[in-house]
Structure formats: C-alpha cells, structure tokens
Amino acid sequence: MEAKNKKDGFEPRIVGFLCNWCSYAGADLAGTSRIEYPPNLRAVRVMCSSRVNPLFVLKAFQEGADGVFIGGCHPQDCHYMEGNYYARRRFMLLKRLIEYMGINPGRLRVEWVSASEGDRFAKIVREFTGDLKRLGPLDLRERVCDGI
C-alpha cells in the first residue's frame, strides 16, 4: 500500500475479464509457452465478452483496480456468434462515460485475442501495465470519498 503512492514502486492492479473460448485460452497459451509478462493482471474467466456487465468494470474500479481489461474473440469468431459485437458497442460507450466522469478512458482496455495469440496476449498485458504505471494509481474510492 505504501509503495502504491510513490510512482516508482507502483504496481498497477488490473482486473482482466477473459472470454473462455479465446482470450482465456490465449492467456493460457502464453503461460504454457513460458512467455513472460507482468503479474499485474488478475484473470476472471467469463464465458463471453458479452457476459461482462459495465457494472463489473465500475465495481472493479471502485474496489481498487487501476485498470480493467476485457478480452474477447476476434470479430466473427465469437463462440456465440455475436456476443463480442454487443460488447464492442457497450464498452465504446462506457469508455466515453468514465472519461466524462473523470476516469482516464485508457484505464479500460478492450482487445480481441484469439486462442493462438499467446505472444500477443503477453504483449498487450505488458503494454497496458506500462500505460497504467505512467498514469499512476486510480484510488477511486479514496478520491471520491475524500475529494483528493
């Protein structure tokens, strides 16, 4: 916690919602292929990117996440045919909303990662972790409650 406030030692906390059929398998492949990537992302497996309610994202921010990642199948590859098309619209809108409310939209990242893209998954997590380090901690709860 102490380190969190100093920008240098800051390790962002990322909540990642990964769809079972693509992104989760992609993350798995990154692991089994021994590709190294930062341990900052905590994966939550969901059946489809469209299972992710904007509420989950907002709740994660409230509970201390510095970034939220949503991973789904590439367009045209969703296991349920159209789930990621709905997710795409939903999160474009949510990014705009959080930006209006004062949260950097770069803290919410949506990517389509297939089961064979283990290296790409690792690269995205590396990138996102770096971005969040630059942005610093969100501390939403503290900032809302104390007005800091």
Give the residues lining the site for other proteins (CB under 8 A).
Answer: 54-55, 58-59, 62, 75, 82, 85-86, 88-90, 92-106, 109, 131, 140-141, 143-145, 147
Give min distance, CB of 50 to ligand FES, in A.
6
Q: What are the DSSP calls for 91-107, one per residue?
A: HHHHHHHHHHHT--GGG
Report the alpha-carbon distance of residue 30 to residue 26 in Å, rounded.
6
Identify the residue among 16, 72, 118, 137 touching ligand FES (CB under 6 A).
72
Q: Is 141 left (phi over 0), alpha (psi -120 to 50) or beta?
A: alpha
Report the alpha-carbon distance of residue 41 to residue 31 in Å, rounded.
13
Identify the residue among 12, 13, 17, 21 touching ligand FES (CB under 6 A).
21
Residue 21 binding: pick among ligand FES, other proteins, none (C-beta 5-8 Å cut-off by kind):
ligand FES
Report the alpha-carbon distance of residue 57 to residue 34 in Å, rounded.
29
Residues lying near ligand FES in the complex (CB under 6 A) are found at 19, 21-22, 48-50, 72-73, 78-80, 83-84
